[in-house]
């Protein structure tokens, strides 16, 4: 896995997705610096990848941060209400685009599932977390994780 998709590539994907879809500029999604705070009211979005390489791309952030992401994506005012449907749609779509770009890096074809959003991540049988990237979006914690269930070479599991 690590030889297939490197940590730097995952970070570059996340930064490109945020620059194009959300911020309009690179540089607002950066590696988290310092101790990691606990996310008490987490919202989790994930999309599964199936094929020779199977795994999951995961996005975790606080509910308030997800609300602000949805407002930006929907071009809303910072004080506007966001429905639960739009919140789920917005965070799910970010995970979907991150997962789709991840899939494009894989050497063999596969399929991408539909995005899911919940309060916690359901287990993925036999999966190990291959990458864990705590990031700072405008100073707020946003975690991108990549899980893998069928690495091309078992020795590649870190």
Partner 1 sequence: MIRVLVTDDSRVMRQIVIRTLRQAGYDWDVREAADGAEALAAVQADEPDVVLSDWNMPNMTGIELLRGLRAAGYQTPFGFVTSEGSPEMRQTAEDAGALFLIAKPFTPEAFREVIDPVLA
In whole angstroms, the minimum distance from the beta carbon of 112 to partner 1 comes to 6
- Closest CB to partner 1 among residues 101, 136: 101
In whole angstroms, the minimum distance from the beta carbon of 37 to partner 1 comes to 27
In whole angstroms, give the CA distance from residue 130 to residue 11: 13
- Closest CB to partner 1 among residues 93, 145: 93
- Closest CB to partner 1 among residues 21, 39: 21
Contact residues for 113 (Cβ-Cβ < 8 A; gap 6+): 47, 48, 49, 50
- Closest CB to partner 1 among residues 106, 152: 106
The residues that touch partner 1, with contacts defined as CB under 8 A, are 16-17, 19-21, 70, 73-75, 85-86, 89-90, 92-93, 96-97, 99-101, 103-104, 106, 109, 112, 114
Q: How many residues does the chain have?
A: 158
- Closest CB to partner 1 among residues 45, 141: 45
In whole angstroms, the minimum distance from the beta carbon of 150 to partner 1 comes to 18
What's the chain's Rg over C-alpha atoms? 15
**Other CB atoms closer than 10 Å to residue 28's CB: what's the count?**
15
C-alpha torsion sign, points 62, 63, 69, 72: negative
**Nearest by Cα to 29 from 131, 129, 150, 139:** 139
In whole angstroms, the minimum distance from the beta carbon of 43 to partner 1 comes to 15
In whole angstroms, give the CA distance from residue 61 to residue 81: 19
In whole angstroms, the minimum distance from the beta carbon of 38 to partner 1 comes to 28
């Amino acid at each position: 896995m690590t030889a297939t998709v490197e940590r730097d590539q995952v970070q570059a994907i996340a930064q490109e997705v945020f620059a194009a879809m959300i911020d309009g500029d690179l540089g607002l999604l950066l590696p988290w610096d310092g101790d990691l705070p606990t996310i008490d009211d987490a919202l989790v979005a994930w999309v599964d990848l199936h094929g020779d390489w199977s795994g999951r791309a995961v996005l975790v952030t606080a509910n308030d941060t997800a609300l602000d992401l949805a407002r930006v994506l929907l071009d809303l005012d910072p004080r506007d209400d966001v429905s639960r449907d739009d919140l789920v749609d917005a965070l799910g779509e970010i995970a979907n685009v991150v997962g789709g770009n991840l899939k494009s890096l894989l050497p063999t074809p596969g399929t991408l599932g539909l995005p899911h959003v919940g309060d916690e991540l359901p287990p993925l049988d036999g999966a190990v977390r291959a990458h864990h990237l705590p990031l700072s979006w405008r100073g707020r914690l946003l975690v991108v994780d990549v899980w893998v269930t069928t690495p091309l070479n078992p020795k590649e599991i870190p």
